């Protein structure tokens, strides 16, 4: 509990520093202050990728060990991944309006593939929600959790496959195309988001463990008493 | 003593297949008739005919005064109660919700639902959905419906199938209540176990024809 | 007022069933999530084209998918349950009214949901005000619910039901479709929408009369 | 080759069931009869507009309705029948292949039928030759059949299945949709369709590998 | 004599509801075990557990050598035969077509189908669809499947439900064949009628726990 609190505090502090750093970067020539949104947009998407990778890892872990905690890890991480994807998508839309003149464009490979990514993981969460039995839920979700992660590289490389509005990766083996102060701010924000992810994930794990324990207690209460001796003297009226 | 069911040389053909051939029978107030016969002989079909759910393709019949195949049956249907091979329950609804529908449609209060479930030993399972119940529990809930809205003409298709020993008295009690209230019961089964001691009369259905039993 | 009590009970029952089985929800969600994304994906980058066909496409989709609400699987017409209903002496007209009410409500919710999403994703060229849109949706849903409930009864127990019922509904729903499409579109053309609204109301009334008169015959035929 | 015998037996069984119950037929007929008439009705007299969106609309519709073939009611997965299948020791992969074959065949027939009707009713601006069209349909149907058969297994027994399954299929089918739409459309633009065809083939292959690898796990999870 | 089924303190929980609680039992080659108990006690659930269709949520079990819940069960499933409350038939297909599927999937010729239908007295109904058959006829066709592909481990849930007197010997013959071929049978019912004289041993299931009967 205290470790979780500490993690939260550190993540919060890192976020404050990140925002402050974002405003130390010079405003971009064409986009003015809008360019600063990159400090939320990019870390969110990267953390979403990481979260979905953890979901896949958790799914593989469950398939090997059949240990429930792997399933909890997969499910919890997917929830946070969806949250970060939504943040990335929304910040992208806010950014796109002044820069490209549209909120959203179905023709842009990255936007479309990110929307698809979001939908698949929403479906993943829906599948978890609609399957009551924990064993069946873990079994089904693990399959989808492993298969769905294929999309992460697809989204990442979509800009290279189809040249459209969205810009290509700025960090490449042959060097960065960004201003150094921007890189610094971005890296700090990335660290802040990673801490935030870890904090949220531990909190979610804790809740999931408590939920499972509560379900187990309720289970014991539900046992027995379904069929009783008939009460043939009863009168039915009304 | 008035006649509740009267069939005269009734025949039934479904999808061009003749299933029942010139059957005649009579059921009067207070009566309890057992119709026996082997698998596939037409017992269920005959029972559904009496329930006005199938119209005869030949012959004439009257049920609760209404001629079979006429509009008059619409007015007597609410006095006919049928429980068949498959319990009439909506799977996603709880047992209580299923019965509450019956109570409301027949102008009763919701209060009678609990009593009916208690009668068949399902007071503890009222909040389970029908899909979550065992086969025998669903059969019991189907009988509870007939306690809730007691018919004048009670039609039971293999009433004991799927029920354990402690549930047999439920069927007996249901038949007793209907007979006492100036009604009648027709029970269908392939053997005498269970229905034998309930029935005052027995008929044997064979190759689509009825014969007195024994 | 046994009639209305029975009708309301049936409507409540249908809605409860729907809440449990969630089948309409199950048409809204895939529709919203899939259809609305699939169409622009297929059409590609031609945003202007998409927004031009947005309203007509909306009404066509809503008609095609909406009618299926009437013969969804969770509707309480599995043979044993239906037969019990019949043997409880429920007035066929009350049963009809109850089911139409439930279906109309579900269809309205469905249409509003899909409508909001199309607005967001398609940005149609002209949007009628919310009040007009709501009115048209209600009239359209009322007519469609009656028509498809009748079709559901008529095709009950027929194996190829899912085939037959839309064939019955689609042509007869043309007045509804044209009325609704014109009521939402014509603000851009002539601005005269009253005749189209009246046409919708008239279609609804005719359907109601036919539905009540045939309810009993349909119930008998459906055995 | 017990594997192929089992797969072919299952495929034959599914097709026989379909012939008896006629459910795909029941999607083709209402679709052809209703959707294709409803859309132009709603759009009105703008024939040019209709013919411009004909192909994209075709692929969108075929995706949305075609996938439902995989979870049609007559598919042999009613619990007792499915369980017997499992207890006969049928290889899950063979069961998967058999069902995919049957579904792909049904989807192909469905698509060709709807395609011919769209051609007739919409007169699309550019028609790819019959050979190309047939190839694209086959590749599309193969991918869609695999994807939706997997989704059907994953959502088996879930109440809101009809909702969930399209939600799973639609986004993952985007490569198929884009590939097919581009393969039939691009003759008017650049004329380069080979990359799109290759994308379809690639998607089919990836799906086949994933399908075969997960068949056993899916069967386990579906109980 | 080898052990075919061995359960050790097995518990089953479905949708968070505990249904079976620490059940232990053993079935050996040539054995015929009857599991008895009232409605809703978990008999069907226990049978489906032995059939590897449900995995235990606690305890350990082996069926035909494969540990329950492990991948190994996939290899032994084709030696398990189960007939439950609801016949496993596709409604729109004829009885012959339904059985032909089983014959082909298990590598048999179509010729065996006629013999199996004849064994259960349905030779005359081979070309009727399952939907057109009566309930008892469908139950018989379900047994025909087990004659067609005889299992080593036979699991019958209320084998006599819906069957007439002339069909009881069919069940007995099925059990006899399986036992003679170094197999074993587990029969589930709520009373001894029918299964009593077939079973060598009886266990009583009560409140999710097993006890020796009588
Ligand atoms: C809804 C609209 C948008 C979506 C769905 C979206 C999606 C994404 C995704 C998934 C990434 C991470 C992949 C990567 O790092 O290469 C990303 C990165 C990025 N996005 Fe967006 N984006 C959107 C709008 C925008 C807009 C409007 C801009 C600015 C004009 C923008 C600029 C960037 C930049 C600079 C990166 C970092 C690329 C890198 O340095 O590698 N995005 N976006
Ligand atoms: N999905 C479920 N959720 C909750 N409870 C369930 C579920 N499935 C079964 N049950 C409960 O498990 C218990 C045992 O069911 P089961 O079908 O095994 O009983 P049974 O002994 O075969 O009874 P019967 O003699 O009536 O066939 C019942 O009380 C039932 O309500
Ligand atoms: N739609 C139909 N088409 C053709 N034959 C039918 C149809 N429905 C029922 N039958 C036939 O009618 C006969 C009687 O069926 P019914 O269900 O009445 O038998 P039953 O006496 O109740 O048998 P059981 O004891 O097995 O329940 C059966 O031989 C059946 O095959
Ligand atoms: Mg019968
Ligand atoms: Mg049982």
Question: Which of E15, E68, E71 is best to mutate for the A interface (most A CBs within 10 A)?
Answer: E15
Mean per-residue pLDDT for B52-80?
A: 88
pLDDT at E113 over 80: yes
Residues 89 through 108 of chain D touching chain E, CB cutoff 8 Å: 89-90, 92
Mean per-residue pLDDT for B153-179?
A: 92
Mean pLDDT of chain D: 78
Mean per-residue pLDDT for C55-66?
A: 79
At C23, the pLDDT band (50, 70, 90 cuts) reads low
Conformational region of residue E40, where left means phi above 0, alpha means psi within -120 to 50, and beta covers everything else: left
Q: How far is A89 from chain B (nearest CA, A)?
A: 38
Hey, are the CB atoms on D171 and A143 less than 8 Å from each other? no
Q: Is A29 on the interface with C (CB under 8 A)?
A: no
Q: Whole-angstrom Cα distance, residue B3 to residue A235?
A: 28
At A173, the pLDDT band (50, 70, 90 cuts) reads very low
Q: Whole-angstrom Cα distance, residue B171 to residue B161?
A: 11
Residue E91 in contact with ligand 3 by CB distance below 6 A: no
Q: What are phi and psi of D52, to 5 degrees?
A: -75, -35
How many Å lie between the centroid of ligand 2 and the Cα of residue D178? 48
Hey, are the CB atoms on D88 and E149 less than 8 Å from each other? yes
The continuous run of DSSP H or E covering A175 comes out as strand A175-176
Q: Of all residues in chain E, what percent carry a pLDDT higher than 70?
A: 96
A123, A143, A150: residue with CB nearest D167 = A123
**Which chain A positions have a beta carbon within 8 Å of D218's beta carbon?**
143
Q: Is B44 on the interface with E (CB under 8 A)?
A: yes
D164, D174, D220: residue with CB nearest A127 = D164
Q: What chains are in contact with C, requiring at least 3 Cβ pairs below 8 Å?
A: A, B, D
pLDDT attached to residue C223: 47
At A178, the pLDDT band (50, 70, 90 cuts) reads low
Mean per-residue pLDDT for B48-67?
A: 90
Hey, are the CB atoms on E39 and B134 less than 8 Å from each other? yes
At A224, the pLDDT band (50, 70, 90 cuts) reads low
pLDDT attached to residue E174: 94
pLDDT attached to residue A150: 83
pLDDT attached to residue A217: 72
pLDDT attached to residue A165: 64
Residue E48 in contact with ligand 3 by CB distance below 6 A: no
Which ligand lies nearest the alpha carbon of A46? 1
**Which chain D positions have a beta carbon within 8 Å of A89's beta carbon?**
none
Hey, are the CB atoms on E74 and D21 less than 8 Å from each other? no
Q: Whole-angstrom Cα distance, residue D96 to residue D4?
A: 11
Residues 66 through 125 of chain A touching chain B, CB cutoff 8 Å: none
Which ligand lies nearest the alpha carbon of B35? 3
pTM confidence score: 0.82
Q: Which residue has the higher pLDDT, A181 or B122?
A: B122
pLDDT at A26 over 80: no
B130 touches B98 (CB < 8 A)? yes
Ligand 2 binding pocket mutation candidate from B87, B131, B132, B164 (most atoms within 8 A of CB): B132
How many Å lie between the centroid of ligand 4 and the Cα of residue B157? 7
Mean pLDDT of chain E: 88
Hey, are the CB atoms on D35 and C181 less than 8 Å from each other? no
Q: Of all residues in chain B, what percent carry a pLDDT higher than 90?
A: 49
Sheet containing E3-14: give its strands across.
E17-28, E3-14, E58-63, E66-67
- The interface predicted TM-score of the complex, written ipTM, equals 0.79
Residue B74 in contact with ligand 3 by CB distance below 6 A: no
A111 touches A105 (CB < 8 A)? yes
pLDDT attached to residue E177: 94
Mean pLDDT of chain A: 80
At E117, the pLDDT band (50, 70, 90 cuts) reads very high
- Within 10 angstroms of residue D85's Cβ, the number of other Cβ atoms is 22
**Which chain A positions have a beta carbon within 8 Å of B133's beta carbon?**
226
Nearest CA to ligand 3 atom 2: E132
Lowest mean pLDDT among D30-34, D85-89, E135-139: D30-34
Residue B139 in contact with ligand 3 by CB distance below 6 A: no
Q: What is the pLDDT of residues D103-122, one digit of tens each?
A: 999 889 888 888 887 777 77
Alpha carbon separation from A197 to A4, A5, A118, A201 (Å, rounded): 12, 14, 17, 6
Give E52's contacts (C-beta < 8 A, 6+ positions apart): E63, E66, E68, E73, E76, E77, E80
Closest atom, ligand 1, to C-alpha of A95: 27
pLDDT at A49 over 90: yes
Q: Is A147 on the interface with D (CB under 8 A)?
A: yes
Closest atom, ligand 3, to C-alpha of B205: 21
**Nearest chain B residue (CA) to C88:** B78
Q: Whole-angstrom Cα distance, residue C221 to residue A123?
A: 42
- The winner for highest mean pLDDT among A28-42, D157-171, E191-205 is E191-205
Q: Whole-angstrom Cα distance, residue E54 to residue C198?
A: 59
Q: What is the pLDDT of residues C164-175, one digit of tens each?
A: 666 677 778 888
């Amino acid at each position: 509990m205290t470790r979780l609190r500490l993690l939260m505090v550190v993540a919060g502090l890192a976020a404050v520093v990140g925002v402050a750093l974002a405003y130390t970067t010079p405003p971009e020539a064409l986009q003015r202050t809008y360019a600063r949104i990159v400090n939320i947009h990019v870390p969110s998407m990267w953390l979403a990728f990481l979260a979905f990778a953890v979901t896949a890892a958790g799914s593989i872990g469950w398939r090997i060990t059949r240990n429930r905690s792997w399933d909890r890890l997969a499910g919890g991480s997917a929830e946070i991944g969806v949250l970060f994807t939504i943040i990335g998508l929304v910040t992208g839309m806010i950014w796109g309006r002044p820069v490209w003149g549209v909120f959203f464009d179905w023709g842009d490979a990255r936007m479309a593939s990110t929307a698809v990514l979001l939908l698949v993981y929403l479906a993943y969460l829906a599948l978890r929600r609609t399957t009551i039995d924990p064993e069946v839920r873990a079994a089904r979700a693990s399959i989808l959790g492993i298969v769905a992660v294929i999309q992460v590289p697809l989204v990442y490389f979509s800009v290279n496959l189809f040249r459209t509005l969205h810009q290509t990766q700025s960090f490449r083996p042959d060097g960065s195309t960004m201003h150094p102060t921007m890189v610094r701010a971005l890296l700090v924000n990335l660290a802040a988001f990673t801490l935030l992810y870890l904090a949220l994930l531990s909190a979610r794990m804790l809740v999931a463990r408590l939920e499972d324990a509560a379900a187990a207690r309720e289970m014991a209460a539900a046992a027995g008493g379904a069929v009783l001796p008939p009460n043939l003297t009863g009168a039915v009226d009304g | 003593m008035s006649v509740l069911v009267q069939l005269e040389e009734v025949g039934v053909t479904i999808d061009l297949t003749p299933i029942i051939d010139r059957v005649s029978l009579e059921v009067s107030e207070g009566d309890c008739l057992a119709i026996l016969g082997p698998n596939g002989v037409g017992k269920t079909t005959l029972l559904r005919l009496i329930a006005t759910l199938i119209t005869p393709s030949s012959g004439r019949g009257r049920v609760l005064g209404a001629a079979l195949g006429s509009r008059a049956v619409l007015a007597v249907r609410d006095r006919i109660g049928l429980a068949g091979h498959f319990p009439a329950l909506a799977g996603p609804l709880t047992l209580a919700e299923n019965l509450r529908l019956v109570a409301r449609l027949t102008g009763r209060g919701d209060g009678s639902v609990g009593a009916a479930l208690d009668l068949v030993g399902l007071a503890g399972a009222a909040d389970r959905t029908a899909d979550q119940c065992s086969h025998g529990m669903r059969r019991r809930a189907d009988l509870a419906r007939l306690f809730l809205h007691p018919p004048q003409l009670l039609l039971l298709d293999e009433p004991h199938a799927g029920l354990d020993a402690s549930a047999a008295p439920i069927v007996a009690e249901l038949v007793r209540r209907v007979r006492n209230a100036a009604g009648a019961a027709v029970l269908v089964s392939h053997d005498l176990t269970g229905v034998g001691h309930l029935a005052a009369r027995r008929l044997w259905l064979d190759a689509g024809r009825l014969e007195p039993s024994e | 007022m046994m009639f209305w009590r029975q009708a309301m009970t049936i409507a409540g029952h249908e809605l409860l069933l729907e809440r449990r089985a969630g089948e309409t929800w199950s048409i809204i969600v895939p529709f919203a999530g899939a259809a609305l994304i699939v169409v622009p994906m297929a059409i590609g980058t031609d945003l202007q084209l998409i927004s031009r066909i947005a309203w007509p496409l909306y009404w066509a989709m809503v008609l095609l998918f909406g009618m299926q609400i009437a013969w969804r699987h969770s509707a309480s017409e599995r043979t044993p349950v239906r037969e019990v209903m019949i043997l409880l002496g429920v007035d066929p007209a009350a049963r009809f009214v109850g089911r139409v009410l439930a279906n109309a409500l579900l269809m309205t919710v469905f249409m509003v949901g899909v409508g909001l999403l199309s607005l967001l994703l398609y940005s149609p060229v002209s949007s009628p005000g919310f009040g007009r849109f709501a009115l048209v949706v209600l009239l359209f849903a009322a007519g469609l619910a009656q028509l498809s409930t009748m079709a559901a009864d008529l095709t009950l127990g027929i194996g190829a039901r899912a085939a037959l019922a839309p064939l019955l509904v689609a042509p007869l729903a043309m007045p509804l479709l044209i009325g609704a499409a014109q009521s939402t579109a014509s603000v851009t053309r002539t601005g005269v929408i009253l005749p189209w609204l009246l046409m919708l109301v008239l279609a609804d009334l005719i359907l109601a009369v036919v539905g009540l008169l045939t309810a009993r015959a349909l119930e008998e035929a459906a055995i």
